Structure 1
């Protein structure tokens, strides 16, 4: 590219020079030099060939032009669409001029015709730009209510989430307070204390005495031997078929 402060000299026809101005505008907006273009878009052309593209001497291939525009405006689809359309229009006009051959100088009338053509093309470009801007405004107008609705939903869901967290926090605090109260009532040595309380609540009852009663048993000889049988008081007297007699030693 030319040095700063020095205007570039275009050496092609009117259409080729207009395409070259378009390329220079894109390169200047993104701070691209001929060497940078050659390095960034590998396989397109050398730096010297890029210099010929930028001064209008040589027509840039349509594939390379479309690749440059799509790469530089990949972040903005609408701007990319607009510049791709403009680049195609300028390239077709430059190609038609190249195929028709050099224009003969017809004096002031030829220059006036060229100016009218350029003015017409500029007017068409302005109309397309306004159409794109109008479409963008329409899309923006559709997006604003949608954004407001989404913002309202976000606020509602945020409030519900905050309330749910507060309920969970209050419930957890209640459970913690109940656990602390139970711990204060029982204490760390609750099993020992419970055993002591149980022992204190039970009366100190001695073991029940076992009463011994003499029992008579026949030894088969008509006499009765003295034996002892251990019986509990609650068992009651034994039932006998014969009446009870006093023992022989009484």
Structure 2
């Protein structure tokens, strides 16, 4: 009797649909040309919902918990810790900026552009300048950390795809936080996100040059005290205060998602 040999055909494995979904979300965040910061942060929240689903999959936990992958998981955990710190620091910067605007707004309402109000304008400018220096220094640190984030897709290995997707999520998070900080510091540093449109609200309440507009109106107010000019400044300050509060709340949601990712990575590492 003739013997028959069955030859197996090795086909490239396809990425898990959830990995494909995460890649698509990352791509949207990178290439979006007109989204507001509110929409960008919302996209980051959706991304990390998917990342958490991905980390909860039995396949992910089984693959990443192997001893050979412990170093990659530890690296992802270290970056996760860094992202927590960045998100917390970014929230603090927004809160400090909010305090600057609120202090100036309160003073202008009391004085309606009197001499005392003008002194507060000077104090506000000094505080803003100091805060901008601190933020710019922090941005330089972010830039250095970005150099350590390199993402490469295309490996047919399921494990490598899993590791790469974590790196990609971390990279886009760094870019989003950097762009947010660039907004409040009015930094001219070029963002890695193409076509980044800096608005704080999805309704477009605050346009890219809104902070500069307020500063310009304050300079006009200093040169000529006018009740109408005070009204214009107060209107801009109210809009900015609302948008900064929205940003703080959105960043707080993102922070909680970073915490959830960190816990998932710790569980995998200690499995």
Q: Which has the higher contact order (CA 8 A, sep 6+)?
A: 2
Counting strand residues as a fraction of each chain, which structure ranks higher? 1
- More helix per residue: 2
What is the TM-score with the length of structure 1 in the denominator?
0.31
**TM-score (normalised: structure 2):** 0.29
